[in-house]
Amino acid sequence: MTTTFDHAQLNDFRSKVLAGEEIDETELRGAIEYLANLRAGIASTAAPKSKSTKAPAKTKAKAAKDAENMLGDLLG
Amino acid sequence: MSFADEALEAVEDMEANPTVELIPIADLTMPEVVDNTQLSDYAKCPKMFYWARLQGLQPGAQSIHLHAGKAFAKAMEDFRVCYFGEGGTFDDAVAAGLYAIIRAYGEPTEAESDEYWIASAKSWEGMACAYIHTVHNWDPRHDALKPVTDDKGKPTVECSFAIPLDVNNPSTGLPYLFHGRYDLLASYGGSLFVEDDKTASQLGASWSGQWDLRSQFTGYCKGAKAFGVGVAGAIIRGTAILKTKITHAEAIVYRPDFLIERWEHDVHHILLNMNQSFEQQFWPTLGTFNEGCNAYGGCDYKQLCSSENPEAWLSNYHRNFWDPTNPDGEEVKND
């Protein structure tokens, strides 16, 4: 999906939400797509990642080590 | 006008328009309910605890970090309630969270028109963007972390608890209550965990390590276990909100019984010291010994502690007592 949504429309969208006005589905999709693409991080909201989060390798290794140590504590 | 003239004018203005007065010592009361933030405040600097918790002084300008963090938390809550509790689709839930973050961030304010807010990574657009990235990164359709449902079938989102402690409050004569609130109670890899979402300015190499012994999560585990929920520890999911990108990281910390028992002893020690400070009305400025004055861009009360006449600076503050059981300061209805 290629968005044609712009910042002015985003501000209109925000005002409508704050005013409790009904939001059109196309407008909602446009706002989400626009916001998702504001900053790098995910390729597209239309194609969410198929897997659960991937913690950084360092974090995973550390968590595994922690789990091993803590298991030792739990088992006395 | 020179900087010195402006500063002098500001001081004169503050002295001429004091909006808050210090509460007399005889009228001060200790909080009936304490949470990890209050205990941490006292442990870091009793004087900060005195200004913030006993005098109820809050800085005039609202912190964008606090405001943005609250809005993000509300979005995550509504997203989970919609998806897990109401059977909404993923798209429905994303929309529910987006509406929530817009409402929680609120109307464009005067502060928001300030250059600092506009330039901040935590503008409303930045936070909404971070929220959308976060729910895609930890997409519940594929996430191994699943919320536990209560006996009514509702997901245990935003779980609050209060447990009595073994130290009495000198103002009431009753035991202090410890209050906590975590974002989610969830199963993960066959074990139960409390889950907490964190926003950050960056997720460096030390990000995950900072939670290893953090009292906040030991307190949450104590609270869960007090209600018969045998949690193994806590999962902390971090979202870093930078001007050019959004990044994520996850940390898992364990809380075996010996750490929880030690936490209880530590909490009691802090409370006994708090009581002693209260009885003697002596609140040492320990932040000057442990870098507390400079933490997070500078303590909010540095101005008061730096002055021989702190009353002259009170117009920079307003009074708002922190109630851990009502973090949003909502009006309590008795119906």
Q: Residue B38 pLDDT > 80, yes or no?
A: yes
Whether residue B21 lies inside any domain: the answer is: no
Please compute, for residue B188, the number of CA atoms within 13 A of its CA located in the half-sphere on the CB side.
22
Segment (H or E) for B306 = helix B302-306
Claim to verify: residue B251 and residue B148 sit in the same structural domain: yes
Cβ(B237)–Cβ(B197) below 8 Å? yes
Structure confidence at residue B250 as a pLDDT band (50, 70, 90)? very high
Of the residues B143, B173, B206, the one at which a domain ends: B143
Phi, psi of B261 (to 5 degrees): -60, -40
CB of A44 less than 8 A from some CB of B: no
Cβ atoms within 10 Å, residue B35: 22
Claim to verify: residue B118 and residue B169 sit in the same structural domain: no
Claim to verify: residue B242 and residue B169 sit in the same structural domain: yes
Claim to verify: residue B79 and residue B154 sit in the same structural domain: no
Total number of domains constituting chain A: 1
CB of B140 less than 8 A from some CB of A: no
Whether residue B4 lies inside any domain: the answer is: no
Whether residue A34 lies inside any domain: the answer is: yes
Residue B110's pLDDT is 66
CB of B139 less than 8 A from some CB of A: yes
SS3 B81: helix
Whether residue B11 lies inside any domain: the answer is: no
More confident residue, B124 or B12: B124
SS3 B179: strand
Of the residues B216, B238, B261, the one at which a domain ends: B261
Domain that holds residue A47: 7-74
Residue B116's pLDDT is 62
Total number of domains constituting chain B: 2
Claim to verify: residue B175 and residue B163 sit in the same structural domain: yes
More confident residue, B153 or B55: B55
pLDDT tens per residue across span B258-312 = 999 999 999 999 999 999 999 999 999 999 999 889 887 789 999 999 999 999 9
Of the residues B143, B160, B177, the one at which a domain ends: B143
Claim to verify: residue B102 and residue B161 sit in the same structural domain: no
Whether residue B223 lies inside any domain: the answer is: yes
Whether residue A60 lies inside any domain: the answer is: yes
Whether residue B312 lies inside any domain: the answer is: no
ipTM: 0.77
pLDDT tens per residue across span A40-73 = 755 444 333 434 444 444 455 555 565 555 555 5
Domain that holds residue B130: 61-143
Distance from CA of A53 to the nearest CA of B (A): 5
Beta strands in chain B (DSSP E): 33-34, 57-59, 146-147, 157-168, 175-188, 191-200, 233-241, 246-254, 317-319
Whether residue B325 lies inside any domain: the answer is: no
Claim to verify: residue B223 and residue B238 sit in the same structural domain: yes
More confident residue, A58 or B209: B209
pLDDT tens per residue across span B103-147 = 999 887 666 666 666 667 888 999 999 999 999 999 999 999 999
Residue B265's pLDDT is 97
Beta strands in B42-169 (DSSP E): 57-59, 146-147, 157-168
What lies within 8 Å, CB to CB, of B267 at 6+ separation is B39, B165, B178, B215, B219
Q: What does R_g of chain B's alpha carbons equal in angstroms?
A: 21
Claim to verify: residue B176 and residue B190 sit in the same structural domain: yes
> Inter-axis angle of helices A7-19 and A25-36, to 10 degrees?
120
Count of CB pairs separated by less than 8 Å, A with B: 107
